[in-house]
Amino acid sequence: MNQKKVAIILVVVTIASCLFTIRSIPKRTGLNTTKEQLSEVKKQIKEKRKEVKKNSPLSNDFNLVSTQREVQNNLKHAFEVTYGGLHSKEDLNTNMAMLERTLGTKLTKEILENIHRQDNFFVSKNDSTTVAFENVTDKTDAIIHVTTRYEVNGTTEEKEEQAKTYSQVYTLHYNLLNKRVLSYENERLVQN
């Protein structure tokens, strides 16, 4: 009788083990789904690598140094004109196309709102403008810092003319291929 109980227990354990093993085998649909997802991820990685290689400033068809120099000169000139070279509507009309081409319509509009109202141009002169690039890893989104220092004429009751010195610090996201400002942030500092 003991042997029968042991045999029955062994048969039950064997059947349970078989059922557990059968349930543990991965289902074909789950395995296929996982393979498809893995294939899609590999495809996305491959596309991203191509994009990174294409946008690299070190690619053979792109001269980073000369492009940076050209962009630096253009931005410096545009900021020097906006913060110190516009004293009349004629100056504005003469330089408007260059400013919009270099800085973009949105940034040009914001700057012009800060430097004049109707026929009053507040900026008397540009003291200095500096353009500096961060390490460029993507020629379609380079980060450029522009700092410009300028004097503004103001009137007070005590003094007829009182000049104040301000600085604007801009952080530009810039496409070096198209030579366009993608986005920007700025901060204004008063220095007196």
Q: Residue 179 sits in a domain of what CATH number?
A: 3.10.450
Has residue 185 been placed in a domain?
A: yes
Has residue 30 been placed in a domain?
A: no
Q: For the chain, give the number of residues.
A: 192
Average pLDDT over residues 148-158: 67
User: Mind listing the pLDDT tens digit for each residue in 177-192?
Assistant: 888 988 888 887 766 5
- Amino acid found at 14: T
Distance CA 160, CA 155 (A): 5
Range of the structural domain that residue 167 is part of: 64-190
Q: What is the mean pLDDT of the chain?
A: 81
Return the bridge partners of 151, or none.
125, 165
Distance CA 73, CA 167 (A): 19
Task: Write the DSSP string, the chain.
Answer: -HHHHHHHHHHHHHHHHHHHHHHHSPPHHHHHHHHHHHHHHHHHHHHHHHHHHHH-TTSTT--HHHHHHHHHHHHHHHHHHHTTT--SHHHHHHHHHHHHHHH-HHHHHHHHHHHEETTEE-EEEEEEEEEEEPPPS-TTSEEEEEEEEEEEEE--SS-S-EEEEEEEEEEEEEETTTTEEEEEEEEEEE--
Q: Which residue has the tokens 């914001």?
A: 110
Query: What is residue 156's predicted lDDT score, i.e. its pLDDT?
Result: 44
Q: How many domains does the chain have?
A: 1
Highest mean pLDDT among 29-38, 47-56, 101-110, 162-171: 101-110
Question: Which range (40-49, 77-86, 113-122, 170-179) has the least confidence?
Answer: 113-122
Has residue 7 been placed in a domain?
A: no
What predicted TM-score, i.e. pTM, was given to this entire model?
Answer: 0.68
User: Mind listing the pLDDT tens digit for each residue in 91-145?
Assistant: 888 888 888 888 888 988 888 887 776 667 777 788 889 999 988 888 888 899 9
- Amino acid found at 83: Y
